[in-house]
């Protein structure tokens, strides 16, 4: 992961340090799978597209089969974790790829949340605030990285939210909305600090 590549990502400094520290281990662990993907001519952009489609498949599937919808979301997460390693494995990692991956992730976050609002799982206010604040934090993280003043830390609620759908569906209905409110407070704080830092640098 080059410095130039990192200018387009939406990671905090702490996340980046962890990724760089574990990059070699992850590449070794995934090497057999990555070689297989190369053999069948799967590209990083192709994986990003498949990940996006799997994530968006959640939306119609949630209306007819919640277990199938959650499987689609799991496939999205797994594929999302492979496109970056495949890009580095094949030496095609770039700012464009990082930006595309981040936008695909955000589209899925938005689609999933809108689906949950439309089906009454979460309210319009917490769900709408979540999409708005999450999108701003991602945008601000990219801008701060481009200005060389990355966030020191960021909350990544999408994976927790996706996993919590199991709790919401099978154990504790109504709990996801409270979880979203908690995330909204943290995201709002990161929006405020992000805005102040960007404003001070431009």
Structure tokens at 128: 């709408």
Q: Which of 9, 80, 83, 105 is catalytic?
A: 105
Q: Is 154 helix (H, G, I), strand (E, B) or coil?
A: coil
Low-confidence ranges of the chain (pLDDT < 50): 1-5
Whether the pTM exceeds 0.85: the reply is yes
Catalytic-residue membership of 105: yes
Provide the pLDDT for residue 20. Answer: 81
Residue 2 parent element (H or E): none
Residue 49 parent element (H or E): helix 44-64
Provide the pLDDT for residue 7. Answer: 59
């Amino acid at each position: 992961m080059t410095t130039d590549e990192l200018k387009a990502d939406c990671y905090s400094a702490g996340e980046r340090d962890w990724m760089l520290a574990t990059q070699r281990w992850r590449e070794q662990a995934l090497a057999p799978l990555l070689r297989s993907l190369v053999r069948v001519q799967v590209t990083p952009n192709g994986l990003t597209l498949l990940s996006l489609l799997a994530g968006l498949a959640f939306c119609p599937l949630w209306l007819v089969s919640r277990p199938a919808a959650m499987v689609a979301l799991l496939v999205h997460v797994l594929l999302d974790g492979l496109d970056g390693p495949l890009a580095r494995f094949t030496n095609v990692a770039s700012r464009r790829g990082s930006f595309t991956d981040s936008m695909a992730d955000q589209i899925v976050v938005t689609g999933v949340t809108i689906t949950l609002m439309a089906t009454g799982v979460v309210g319009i206010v917490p769900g709408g605030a979540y999409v708005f604040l999450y999108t701003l934090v991602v945008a601000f993280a990219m801008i701060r990285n481009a200005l060389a003043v990355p966030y020191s830390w960021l909350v990544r609620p999408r994976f927790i939210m996706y996993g919590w759908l199991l709790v919401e569906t099978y154990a504790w209905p109504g709990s996801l909305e409270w979880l979203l409110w908690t995330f909204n407070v943290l995201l709002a704080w990161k929006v405020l600090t992000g805005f102040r830092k960007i404003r001070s640098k431009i």
